[in-house]
Amino acid sequence: MTRKEAREQAFLLMFEKSFHPEADIEDIISLALENEIVRADDYVRSVAEIASENFSRIDETIDENLRGWRKTRISKVSLAVLRLALCEMLYLDEVPVGVSINEAVELCKQYSGADDASFVNGVLGSVARSLSGGELVDDNVSTDSESMDGEFTDNESADS
């Protein structure tokens, strides 16, 4: 399974978790495996577990980077995508920030729409700048930070 496919499966677990916040992530993973919604994969399990263990910190980061929004107004798709990307950005050093952002935008486009993709791009761009002291962490990533409508692009393989 490619990293891109694994991210999509991890997204599906995060999406399910957003409907059942009280459920243990292991139970969600087990049901998803049993119903063949996801395939067994170490990366998928690892990201889902790390994100679940750190939901409070991840959600605080989302709240800190929202401009004129409350988390309760964010679609479940966008919230799941943000949680997945922030898990990678905050806890998985081997994944370049630009790759996490680009993949998050692509997941939003696939499962939601351009408006959600632009919103997620803006929030993650804000996080990326705060993580690097005001500069984007990855030189291969570009954004129009004033309008938050710019799309991040990554010249590296999305399968990182």
pLDDT digit string, tens, across residues 87-142: 999 999 999 999 999 999 999 999 998 889 999 999 999 999 988 764 444 433 43
Give the separation between CA 26 and CA 3, rounded to whole angstroms: 21
pLDDT averaged over the chain? 83
Domains of the chain by range and CATH? 3-131 (1.10.940.10)
Give the separation between CA 14 and CA 156, rounded to whole angstroms: 25
Those residues whose C-beta lies under 8 Å from the C-beta of residue 143, and which sit 6 or more positions away, are 121, 125, 136, 150, 151, 152
Q: What is the pTM of this model?
A: 0.81
| Closest to 12 in 3D by CA, of 154, 59, 2, 36 | 36
